[in-house]
Amino acid sequence: MANIQNAVRDTNCAVILLSKKYIESRWCQQEFEECMEEASKDSKYRVIVILMEEVAVLMQENLTPYMKASLHSRTYLDVTDSKLWEKLTKILEKHQTPGAFTLESSTWI
C-alpha cells in the first residue's frame, strides 16, 4: 500500500482505466481512493477517469462507496468516444508541468 501512496504523491496526474477487473482489484480500489484523496487536497493534481465499459454496467458492479460517489460527481471520458484521444491529449497538455514529457514527442499506440 505504501508503494501506491508514494506513486500517487510523486506525480501530478493519474489516468485511471476503469473496468470490471479494475473494480474487483483491492489494489486498484486503493489506488483510486489515493488518487481521489490527493486531488481533494491538491487543486493541481488531476485524475482522469476513462470508462472502459458503459457506466450503467460499471455501476452494477461492486463499486466501493467512494468509487460510486466519484462517478456521480466527476466528469469522465468514455473509451467508445470517437474523440477520446483528442480530449485526453487536450487535458494532458493543459495540465503539463515544465520538464515533463511532451505529447508531441510521444507516440500513441
- For each of the domains in the chain, give its residue range(s) and CATH number, in order of start: 2-94 (3.40.50.10140)
For 31-69, give one letter per residue: b (16+ CB within 10 A) or e: bbbbbbebbeeeeebbbbbbbbbeeeebeebebeeebee
Chain-wide mean pLDDT for the chain?
79
For residue 91 the three cell numbers come to 487535458
* pLDDT above 70: percentage of residues in the chain: 83
Averaged pLDDT, 4-17: 82
Question: 47-97, pLDDT tens digit by residue?
Answer: 889 988 876 677 777 788 888 888 777 788 889 899 999 998 888 887 665
pLDDT of residue 83: 93
- In 3D space, the residue among 16, 72, 10, 8 whose CA is nearest the CA of residue 38 turns out to be 8
- Spatial distance between the Cα atoms of 52 and 17, rounded to a whole number of angstroms: 6
Burial of 76 (0-12, 13-18, 19+ CB in 10 A): middle
Provide the whole-model pTM: 0.75
Assess contact for 18 and 63: CB atoms under 8 A.
no
pLDDT of residue 71: 78
pLDDT of residue 1: 64
